[in-house]
Structure 1
Amino acid sequence: MAYEMNFTPVFARTPELISGTIDTIVLSGQSIVIGLTIGLAVSILRVDGPKWAAAASAGYVEAFRNTPLLVQLFLLFFGLPYIGIRLSADHAAILAISLNLGAYSAEIFRAGLLAIPKTQIEAGLALGLSRLQVMRYVVIIPALRVIYPALTGQLTLTLLGTSIASAISATELTLAGAKIESQTFRSLETFLVLAAIYISITFAFRLLYWIVGLWLFRRSVPKTGSAVATLSLPREAET
Protein backbone atom coordinates (compact mmCIF):
# COMPACT_ATOMS: atom_id res chain seq x y z
CA MET A 1 0.00 0.00 0.00
CA ALA A 2 1.34 3.44 -0.96
CA TYR A 3 2.01 5.91 1.80
CA GLU A 4 -0.59 8.68 1.99
CA MET A 5 0.72 12.09 2.94
CA ASN A 6 -1.34 13.92 5.54
CA PHE A 7 -0.09 17.30 6.74
CA THR A 8 -3.27 18.20 8.63
CA PRO A 9 -2.08 16.96 12.07
CA VAL A 10 1.20 18.84 11.60
CA PHE A 11 -0.40 22.10 10.47
CA ALA A 12 -2.76 21.84 13.43
CA ARG A 13 0.33 22.40 15.62
CA THR A 14 1.28 25.62 13.82
CA PRO A 15 1.53 27.67 17.05
CA GLU A 16 4.22 25.30 18.31
CA LEU A 17 6.09 25.53 15.01
CA ILE A 18 5.95 29.32 15.11
CA SER A 19 7.18 29.33 18.71
CA GLY A 20 10.03 26.96 17.80
CA THR A 21 10.97 29.12 14.83
CA ILE A 22 11.15 32.22 17.02
CA ASP A 23 13.22 30.33 19.59
CA THR A 24 15.66 29.24 16.85
CA ILE A 25 16.01 32.81 15.55
CA VAL A 26 16.63 34.14 19.05
CA LEU A 27 19.13 31.37 19.83
CA SER A 28 20.93 32.01 16.54
CA GLY A 29 20.99 35.77 17.02
CA GLN A 30 22.38 35.59 20.55
CA SER A 31 24.99 33.00 19.59
CA ILE A 32 26.08 34.96 16.51
CA VAL A 33 26.55 38.21 18.44
CA ILE A 34 28.51 36.54 21.23
CA GLY A 35 30.45 34.25 18.89
CA LEU A 36 31.54 37.03 16.54
CA THR A 37 32.65 39.14 19.51
CA ILE A 38 34.74 36.24 20.79
CA GLY A 39 36.12 35.52 17.33
CA LEU A 40 37.19 39.10 16.68
CA ALA A 41 38.87 39.40 20.08
CA VAL A 42 40.69 36.09 19.66
CA SER A 43 41.86 36.96 16.14
CA ILE A 44 43.30 40.29 17.31
CA LEU A 45 45.11 38.54 20.16
CA ARG A 46 46.57 35.99 17.76
CA VAL A 47 47.74 38.64 15.31
CA ASP A 48 48.80 41.49 17.60
CA GLY A 49 48.73 40.17 21.17
CA PRO A 50 51.41 39.08 23.63
CA LYS A 51 52.87 35.63 23.10
CA TRP A 52 51.06 34.04 26.05
CA ALA A 53 47.69 35.40 24.86
CA ALA A 54 48.36 34.31 21.29
CA ALA A 55 49.25 30.81 22.50
CA ALA A 56 46.13 30.58 24.69
CA SER A 57 43.97 31.82 21.82
CA ALA A 58 45.49 29.27 19.45
CA GLY A 59 44.80 26.50 21.98
CA TYR A 60 41.15 27.57 22.26
CA VAL A 61 40.74 27.66 18.46
CA GLU A 62 42.30 24.24 17.94
CA ALA A 63 40.27 22.67 20.76
CA PHE A 64 36.93 23.86 19.43
CA ARG A 65 37.71 23.40 15.73
CA ASN A 66 38.79 19.78 16.23
CA THR A 67 35.89 18.50 18.34
CA PRO A 68 32.24 18.11 17.28
CA LEU A 69 29.74 20.72 18.40
CA LEU A 70 27.59 17.99 19.94
CA VAL A 71 30.50 16.86 22.16
CA GLN A 72 31.13 20.47 23.22
CA LEU A 73 27.44 20.85 24.04
CA PHE A 74 27.44 17.69 26.17
CA LEU A 75 30.65 18.70 27.97
CA LEU A 76 29.21 22.08 28.94
CA PHE A 77 25.77 20.80 29.90
CA PHE A 78 26.75 17.57 31.67
CA GLY A 79 30.35 18.33 32.62
CA LEU A 80 30.17 21.78 34.22
CA PRO A 81 27.93 20.58 37.10
CA TYR A 82 30.89 18.45 38.29
CA ILE A 83 32.74 21.67 39.08
CA GLY A 84 29.72 23.38 40.59
CA ILE A 85 28.48 25.28 37.52
CA ARG A 86 24.95 24.42 36.43
CA LEU A 87 23.52 25.87 33.25
CA SER A 88 20.02 25.54 31.89
CA ALA A 89 19.67 23.76 28.56
CA ASP A 90 19.11 27.07 26.77
CA HIS A 91 22.11 28.77 28.37
CA ALA A 92 24.35 25.76 27.69
CA ALA A 93 23.25 25.81 24.04
CA ILE A 94 24.03 29.51 23.69
CA LEU A 95 27.44 29.08 25.32
CA ALA A 96 28.41 26.02 23.25
CA ILE A 97 27.29 27.48 19.92
CA SER A 98 28.93 30.84 20.71
CA LEU A 99 32.27 29.26 21.63
CA ASN A 100 32.14 27.05 18.55
CA LEU A 101 31.39 30.00 16.26
CA GLY A 102 34.05 32.04 18.05
CA ALA A 103 36.72 29.49 17.15
CA TYR A 104 35.76 29.28 13.48
CA SER A 105 35.17 33.01 13.03
CA ALA A 106 38.51 33.75 14.73
CA GLU A 107 40.33 32.00 11.91
CA ILE A 108 38.24 33.81 9.31
CA PHE A 109 38.91 37.17 10.97
CA ARG A 110 42.61 36.35 11.30
CA ALA A 111 42.85 35.62 7.58
CA GLY A 112 41.33 39.01 6.87
CA LEU A 113 43.63 40.82 9.28
CA LEU A 114 46.71 39.19 7.78
CA ALA A 115 45.53 40.24 4.31
CA ILE A 116 45.93 43.94 5.17
CA PRO A 117 49.36 45.22 4.01
CA LYS A 118 51.61 46.63 6.73
CA THR A 119 52.15 49.69 4.56
CA GLN A 120 48.47 50.52 4.88
CA ILE A 121 48.70 50.37 8.68
CA GLU A 122 51.81 52.53 8.63
CA ALA A 123 50.00 55.03 6.41
CA GLY A 124 47.18 55.28 8.95
CA LEU A 125 49.64 55.92 11.77
CA ALA A 126 51.43 58.51 9.62
CA LEU A 127 48.12 60.36 9.20
CA GLY A 128 47.98 60.78 12.97
CA LEU A 129 45.43 58.08 13.78
CA SER A 130 45.63 56.25 17.09
CA ARG A 131 46.22 52.50 17.09
CA LEU A 132 42.55 51.99 17.99
CA GLN A 133 41.45 54.13 15.04
CA VAL A 134 43.86 52.32 12.73
CA MET A 135 42.51 48.95 13.89
CA ARG A 136 38.92 50.11 13.43
CA TYR A 137 39.04 52.06 10.18
CA VAL A 138 42.16 50.85 8.39
CA VAL A 139 42.27 47.18 9.36
CA ILE A 140 38.91 45.75 10.46
CA ILE A 141 36.60 47.27 7.82
CA PRO A 142 38.84 46.45 4.81
CA ALA A 143 39.51 42.99 6.27
CA LEU A 144 35.80 42.42 6.75
CA ARG A 145 35.23 43.25 3.10
CA VAL A 146 37.63 40.45 2.13
CA ILE A 147 36.20 37.79 4.46
CA TYR A 148 32.51 38.73 4.37
CA PRO A 149 31.38 35.90 2.03
CA ALA A 150 33.19 33.25 4.09
CA LEU A 151 31.96 34.78 7.34
CA THR A 152 28.30 34.86 6.29
CA GLY A 153 28.63 31.26 5.11
CA GLN A 154 29.86 30.29 8.56
CA LEU A 155 26.96 32.17 10.16
CA THR A 156 24.53 30.16 8.01
CA LEU A 157 26.13 26.95 9.27
CA THR A 158 25.76 28.25 12.82
CA LEU A 159 22.06 28.91 12.25
CA LEU A 160 21.50 25.38 11.00
CA GLY A 161 23.70 23.99 13.78
CA THR A 162 21.29 25.22 16.43
CA SER A 163 19.25 22.08 15.71
CA ILE A 164 21.85 20.13 17.70
CA ALA A 165 20.64 21.92 20.83
CA SER A 166 17.58 19.66 20.78
CA ALA A 167 19.87 16.89 22.08
CA ILE A 168 19.77 18.53 25.53
CA SER A 169 16.14 19.67 25.16
CA ALA A 170 16.97 23.32 24.56
CA THR A 171 13.94 25.13 23.18
CA GLU A 172 14.25 25.52 19.41
CA LEU A 173 12.57 24.41 16.19
CA THR A 174 13.91 20.84 15.94
CA LEU A 175 12.80 20.07 19.49
CA ALA A 176 9.33 21.42 18.71
CA GLY A 177 9.23 19.25 15.58
CA ALA A 178 10.35 16.17 17.50
CA LYS A 179 7.52 16.64 19.99
CA ILE A 180 4.99 17.06 17.18
CA GLU A 181 6.30 13.95 15.41
CA SER A 182 6.10 11.84 18.57
CA GLN A 183 2.50 12.88 19.18
CA THR A 184 1.13 12.80 15.62
CA PHE A 185 3.24 9.90 14.25
CA ARG A 186 3.59 11.83 10.97
CA SER A 187 7.39 11.70 10.74
CA LEU A 188 7.82 12.47 7.04
CA GLU A 189 5.33 15.32 7.04
CA THR A 190 6.75 16.86 10.20
CA PHE A 191 10.35 16.94 9.02
CA LEU A 192 9.38 18.13 5.54
CA VAL A 193 7.72 21.11 7.20
CA LEU A 194 10.78 21.65 9.40
CA ALA A 195 13.02 21.56 6.32
CA ALA A 196 10.85 24.17 4.59
CA ILE A 197 11.00 26.41 7.66
CA TYR A 198 14.79 26.10 7.95
CA ILE A 199 15.16 26.97 4.26
CA SER A 200 12.96 30.04 4.76
CA ILE A 201 14.93 31.17 7.81
CA THR A 202 18.22 30.64 5.99
CA PHE A 203 17.14 32.75 3.01
CA ALA A 204 15.85 35.45 5.37
CA PHE A 205 19.21 35.57 7.16
CA ARG A 206 21.06 35.65 3.82
CA LEU A 207 18.94 38.61 2.76
CA LEU A 208 19.80 40.31 6.05
CA TYR A 209 23.52 39.67 5.51
CA TRP A 210 23.24 41.16 2.01
CA ILE A 211 21.56 44.30 3.36
CA VAL A 212 24.17 44.63 6.12
CA GLY A 213 26.91 44.22 3.52
CA LEU A 214 25.46 47.01 1.38
CA TRP A 215 25.37 49.31 4.42
CA LEU A 216 28.76 48.31 5.79
CA PHE A 217 30.64 48.58 2.51
CA ARG A 218 28.77 51.54 1.04
CA ARG A 219 32.10 53.41 0.80
CA SER A 220 33.97 52.14 -2.23
CA VAL A 221 37.66 51.36 -1.83
CA PRO A 222 39.91 51.65 -4.91
CA LYS A 223 41.39 48.33 -6.01
CA THR A 224 44.68 49.94 -6.97
CA GLY A 225 46.75 52.87 -5.83
CA SER A 226 48.91 53.75 -2.91
CA ALA A 227 48.26 52.65 0.64
CA VAL A 228 47.17 56.16 1.58
CA ALA A 229 44.68 56.24 -1.29
CA THR A 230 42.93 53.16 0.06
CA LEU A 231 42.04 54.86 3.31
CA SER A 232 38.39 55.91 3.39
CA LEU A 233 37.74 57.27 6.83
CA PRO A 234 34.62 58.62 8.54
CA ARG A 235 34.75 62.29 9.45
CA GLU A 236 35.26 61.60 13.13
CA ALA A 237 38.43 59.65 12.33
CA GLU A 238 39.81 62.50 10.24
CA THR A 239 39.77 64.96 13.12
Structure 2
Amino acid sequence: MFFDLQFAPVVANMPALLKGVLLTIELSAAAIICGSALGLLVALLRHLAPQSLRWPMTVYVELIRNTPFLIQLYIIFFGLPAYGFKVSAIEAGLIAMTINLGAYTTEIFRAGIDSIHRSQIEAGHALGLTRVQIFRHIILKPAVQKVWPSLVSQFVLMVLTSSVCSFISVEELSGAANTIQSATFRSFEAYMVAGALYLALAILLKSGLFAIGRYAFGKKAARVRSFGTAALIAGEAKQ
Protein backbone atom coordinates (compact mmCIF):
# COMPACT_ATOMS: atom_id res chain seq x y z
CA MET A 1 0.00 0.00 0.00
CA PHE A 2 1.46 3.36 -1.09
CA PHE A 3 0.89 6.68 0.63
CA ASP A 4 1.45 9.83 -1.36
CA LEU A 5 1.94 12.39 1.38
CA GLN A 6 2.08 15.98 0.21
CA PHE A 7 2.62 18.47 2.99
CA ALA A 8 3.39 21.41 0.70
CA PRO A 9 -0.25 22.57 0.43
CA VAL A 10 -0.59 22.42 4.21
CA VAL A 11 2.71 24.23 4.82
CA ALA A 12 1.57 26.93 2.41
CA ASN A 13 -1.38 27.53 4.76
CA MET A 14 0.77 27.55 7.89
CA PRO A 15 -0.17 31.17 8.79
CA ALA A 16 -3.79 30.05 9.14
CA LEU A 17 -2.72 27.15 11.37
CA LEU A 18 -0.57 29.42 13.52
CA LYS A 19 -3.49 31.82 13.85
CA GLY A 20 -5.55 28.85 15.01
CA VAL A 21 -2.84 27.93 17.51
CA LEU A 22 -2.91 31.47 18.90
CA LEU A 23 -6.69 31.36 19.31
CA THR A 24 -6.42 27.94 20.97
CA ILE A 25 -3.89 29.33 23.45
CA GLU A 26 -5.99 32.42 24.19
CA LEU A 27 -9.21 30.44 24.58
CA SER A 28 -7.58 27.78 26.74
CA ALA A 29 -5.73 30.28 28.95
CA ALA A 30 -8.91 32.24 29.62
CA ALA A 31 -10.84 29.05 30.35
CA ILE A 32 -8.12 27.74 32.68
CA ILE A 33 -8.07 30.99 34.69
CA CYS A 34 -11.84 31.36 34.88
CA GLY A 35 -12.52 27.65 35.34
CA SER A 36 -9.96 27.33 38.12
CA ALA A 37 -11.43 30.33 39.94
CA LEU A 38 -14.93 28.87 39.58
CA GLY A 39 -13.78 25.46 40.75
CA LEU A 40 -12.00 26.86 43.78
CA LEU A 41 -15.04 28.98 44.72
CA VAL A 42 -17.45 26.04 44.45
CA ALA A 43 -15.07 23.76 46.35
CA LEU A 44 -14.83 26.28 49.21
CA LEU A 45 -18.60 26.73 49.29
CA ARG A 46 -19.10 22.96 49.43
CA HIS A 47 -16.54 22.79 52.22
CA LEU A 48 -17.91 25.68 54.30
CA ALA A 49 -21.65 25.61 53.60
CA PRO A 50 -24.03 23.58 55.78
CA GLN A 51 -24.92 20.15 54.46
CA SER A 52 -28.43 21.27 53.55
CA LEU A 53 -27.10 24.03 51.26
CA ARG A 54 -24.54 21.97 49.34
CA TRP A 55 -26.96 20.26 46.95
CA PRO A 56 -26.94 22.99 44.21
CA MET A 57 -23.17 22.72 43.95
CA THR A 58 -23.33 18.93 43.95
CA VAL A 59 -25.94 19.01 41.18
CA TYR A 60 -23.72 21.35 39.13
CA VAL A 61 -20.66 19.13 39.48
CA GLU A 62 -22.47 15.87 38.76
CA LEU A 63 -24.44 17.32 35.85
CA ILE A 64 -21.38 18.70 34.07
CA ARG A 65 -19.10 15.75 34.79
CA ASN A 66 -21.65 13.24 33.51
CA THR A 67 -22.72 14.89 30.25
CA PRO A 68 -20.69 15.32 27.03
CA PHE A 69 -18.88 18.60 26.53
CA LEU A 70 -20.29 18.86 23.00
CA ILE A 71 -23.86 18.82 24.37
CA GLN A 72 -22.98 21.52 26.89
CA LEU A 73 -21.45 23.59 24.09
CA TYR A 74 -24.53 23.21 21.89
CA ILE A 75 -26.87 24.14 24.73
CA ILE A 76 -24.96 27.38 25.32
CA PHE A 77 -24.43 28.27 21.65
CA PHE A 78 -27.90 27.40 20.39
CA GLY A 79 -29.91 27.64 23.61
CA LEU A 80 -28.93 31.03 25.02
CA PRO A 81 -29.92 33.01 21.88
CA ALA A 82 -33.37 31.43 22.07
CA TYR A 83 -33.82 33.22 25.40
CA GLY A 84 -32.44 36.54 24.22
CA PHE A 85 -28.79 36.08 25.20
CA LYS A 86 -26.78 36.46 22.01
CA VAL A 87 -23.26 35.10 22.21
CA SER A 88 -20.60 34.68 19.54
CA ALA A 89 -19.04 31.31 18.82
CA ILE A 90 -15.88 32.23 20.73
CA GLU A 91 -17.87 33.50 23.72
CA ALA A 92 -19.97 30.33 23.74
CA GLY A 93 -16.82 28.21 23.61
CA LEU A 94 -15.24 30.13 26.48
CA ILE A 95 -18.38 29.87 28.63
CA ALA A 96 -18.72 26.15 27.97
CA MET A 97 -15.03 25.47 28.67
CA THR A 98 -15.14 27.51 31.88
CA ILE A 99 -18.24 25.73 33.19
CA ASN A 100 -16.84 22.33 32.23
CA LEU A 101 -13.42 22.91 33.76
CA GLY A 102 -15.00 24.45 36.86
CA ALA A 103 -16.84 21.21 37.62
CA TYR A 104 -13.72 19.07 37.31
CA THR A 105 -11.46 21.42 39.25
CA THR A 106 -14.11 21.61 41.98
CA GLU A 107 -13.58 17.94 42.72
CA ILE A 108 -9.81 18.30 42.50
CA PHE A 109 -9.72 21.26 44.89
CA ARG A 110 -12.20 19.53 47.21
CA ALA A 111 -9.90 16.53 47.46
CA GLY A 112 -6.98 18.80 48.29
CA ILE A 113 -8.91 20.74 50.93
CA ASP A 114 -10.22 17.55 52.53
CA SER A 115 -6.65 16.24 52.76
CA ILE A 116 -5.68 19.01 55.21
CA HIS A 117 -5.94 17.52 58.69
CA ARG A 118 -8.10 19.37 61.19
CA SER A 119 -5.20 19.42 63.65
CA GLN A 120 -3.24 21.71 61.31
CA ILE A 121 -6.04 24.28 61.37
CA GLU A 122 -6.34 24.02 65.14
CA ALA A 123 -2.58 24.47 65.44
CA GLY A 124 -2.84 27.61 63.33
CA HIS A 125 -5.44 29.03 65.71
CA ALA A 126 -3.25 28.12 68.68
CA LEU A 127 -0.29 29.90 67.10
CA GLY A 128 -2.29 33.11 66.72
CA LEU A 129 -2.81 33.11 62.96
CA THR A 130 -5.75 35.00 61.55
CA ARG A 131 -8.48 33.26 59.55
CA VAL A 132 -7.09 34.73 56.35
CA GLN A 133 -3.58 33.46 57.15
CA ILE A 134 -4.93 30.03 58.05
CA PHE A 135 -6.91 29.80 54.82
CA ARG A 136 -4.13 31.14 52.62
CA HIS A 137 -1.17 29.29 54.09
CA ILE A 138 -2.43 26.24 55.97
CA ILE A 139 -5.40 25.27 53.78
CA LEU A 140 -5.02 26.69 50.28
CA LYS A 141 -1.30 26.36 49.55
CA PRO A 142 -0.86 22.80 50.88
CA ALA A 143 -4.14 21.76 49.21
CA VAL A 144 -3.05 23.10 45.83
CA GLN A 145 0.38 21.51 46.30
CA LYS A 146 -1.18 18.09 46.88
CA VAL A 147 -3.42 18.23 43.81
CA TRP A 148 -1.12 20.16 41.46
CA PRO A 149 -0.35 17.15 39.21
CA SER A 150 -4.08 16.50 38.83
CA LEU A 151 -4.71 20.16 38.02
CA VAL A 152 -1.96 20.14 35.40
CA SER A 153 -3.45 17.07 33.73
CA GLN A 154 -6.90 18.67 33.72
CA PHE A 155 -5.52 21.88 32.20
CA VAL A 156 -3.84 19.91 29.41
CA LEU A 157 -7.08 18.03 28.76
CA MET A 158 -8.91 21.34 28.51
CA VAL A 159 -6.49 22.56 25.84
CA LEU A 160 -7.22 19.42 23.83
CA THR A 161 -10.96 19.72 24.53
CA SER A 162 -10.92 23.18 22.94
CA SER A 163 -10.85 21.37 19.58
CA VAL A 164 -14.56 20.59 20.07
CA CYS A 165 -15.28 24.31 19.66
CA SER A 166 -14.61 23.86 15.95
CA PHE A 167 -18.09 22.26 15.79
CA ILE A 168 -19.59 25.73 16.25
CA SER A 169 -17.22 27.29 13.69
CA VAL A 170 -14.58 28.61 16.09
CA GLU A 171 -11.43 28.95 13.97
CA GLU A 172 -9.05 27.54 16.55
CA LEU A 173 -6.45 24.93 15.55
CA SER A 174 -8.91 22.17 14.65
CA GLY A 175 -11.16 24.61 12.84
CA ALA A 176 -8.21 25.96 10.86
CA ALA A 177 -7.10 22.42 9.97
CA ASN A 178 -10.62 21.58 8.80
CA THR A 179 -10.72 24.68 6.59
CA ILE A 180 -7.33 23.82 5.09
CA GLN A 181 -8.24 20.22 4.33
CA SER A 182 -11.46 21.38 2.65
CA ALA A 183 -9.49 23.73 0.42
CA THR A 184 -6.51 21.47 -0.36
CA PHE A 185 -8.11 18.00 -0.15
CA ARG A 186 -5.08 16.88 1.92
CA SER A 187 -7.03 15.74 4.99
CA PHE A 188 -4.43 13.29 6.31
CA GLU A 189 -1.59 15.78 6.10
CA ALA A 190 -3.63 18.67 7.55
CA TYR A 191 -4.72 16.70 10.59
CA MET A 192 -1.24 15.22 11.07
CA VAL A 193 0.21 18.72 11.29
CA ALA A 194 -2.62 19.83 13.60
CA GLY A 195 -2.02 16.79 15.81
CA ALA A 196 1.69 17.60 16.01
CA LEU A 197 0.87 21.17 17.02
CA TYR A 198 -1.53 19.94 19.73
CA LEU A 199 1.17 17.59 20.99
CA ALA A 200 3.68 20.44 21.16
CA LEU A 201 1.17 22.64 23.02
CA ALA A 202 0.40 19.87 25.52
CA ILE A 203 4.07 19.13 26.21
CA LEU A 204 4.98 22.79 26.59
CA LEU A 205 2.03 23.46 28.89
CA LYS A 206 2.71 20.42 31.03
CA SER A 207 6.42 21.21 31.31
CA GLY A 208 5.75 24.84 32.15
CA LEU A 209 3.14 24.08 34.79
CA PHE A 210 5.27 21.42 36.45
CA ALA A 211 8.18 23.88 36.49
CA ILE A 212 5.90 26.41 38.19
CA GLY A 213 4.91 23.72 40.69
CA ARG A 214 8.52 22.89 41.48
CA TYR A 215 9.30 26.58 41.96
CA ALA A 216 6.23 27.24 44.11
CA PHE A 217 6.10 24.06 46.18
CA GLY A 218 9.43 22.24 45.88
CA LYS A 219 11.51 23.69 48.70
CA LYS A 220 8.54 24.37 50.94
CA ALA A 221 7.28 20.81 50.57
CA ALA A 222 10.47 19.41 52.09
CA ARG A 223 10.33 21.92 54.95
CA VAL A 224 6.67 21.10 55.61
CA ARG A 225 7.46 17.40 55.91
CA SER A 226 10.22 18.19 58.41
CA PHE A 227 8.61 20.80 60.64
CA GLY A 228 4.84 20.68 60.10
CA THR A 229 2.65 23.05 58.12
CA ALA A 230 1.20 25.17 60.89
CA ALA A 231 4.49 25.78 62.69
CA LEU A 232 6.26 26.64 59.47
CA ILE A 233 3.58 29.06 58.27
CA ALA A 234 3.34 30.71 61.67
CA GLY A 235 7.02 31.52 61.55
CA GLU A 236 6.75 32.91 58.03
CA ALA A 237 3.63 34.94 58.82
CA LYS A 238 5.28 36.64 61.79
CA GLN A 239 8.38 37.65 59.86
The alpha-carbon deviation at position 168 of structure 1 amounts to 0.4
Does the 8 Å CA contact 1:65/1:103 hold for their aligned counterparts?
Answer: yes
Flag the 1:177–1:86 CA change in 2: closer, same or farther, 3 A.
same
The alpha-carbon deviation at position 2 of structure 1 amounts to 2.4
Flag the 1:233–1:76 CA change in 2: closer, same or farther, 3 A.
farther
Distance 1:60 1:232 in 2: 34
Does the 8 Å CA contact 1:219/1:232 hold for their aligned counterparts?
Answer: no
Within-5 A mapping of 1:17-166: 17-51=17-51, 53-166=53-166
Distance 1:27 1:233 in 2: 39
Structure 1-normalised TM-score?
0.94
**Greater Cα shift, 131-140 or 35-44:** 131-140
Question: Number of matched residues?
Answer: 237
The alpha-carbon deviation at position 32 of structure 1 amounts to 0.1
The alpha-carbon deviation at position 9 of structure 1 amounts to 0.2
Q: Which runs of 5+ in 1 are unaligned?
A: none
Distance 2:9 2:79 in 1: 38
RMSD of aligned Cα (Å): 1.7
The alpha-carbon deviation at position 131 of structure 1 amounts to 1.7
Is 1:196–2:196 an aligned residue pair? yes
Amino acid at match of 1:219: K
Distance 1:2 1:131 in 2: 68
Is 1:219–2:217 an aligned residue pair? no
The alpha-carbon deviation at position 11 of structure 1 amounts to 0.1
Distance 1:112 1:105 in 2: 10
Aligned partner of 1:180 in structure 2 is 180
Residues 124-183 of structure 1 show CA distances to partners (whole Å, capped at 9, x for unaligned) of 122222222211110011111111111111111111000000000113100000000000
SS at match of 1:219: helix
Is 1:5–2:5 an aligned residue pair? yes
Does the 8 Å CA contact 1:61/1:104 hold for their aligned counterparts?
Answer: yes
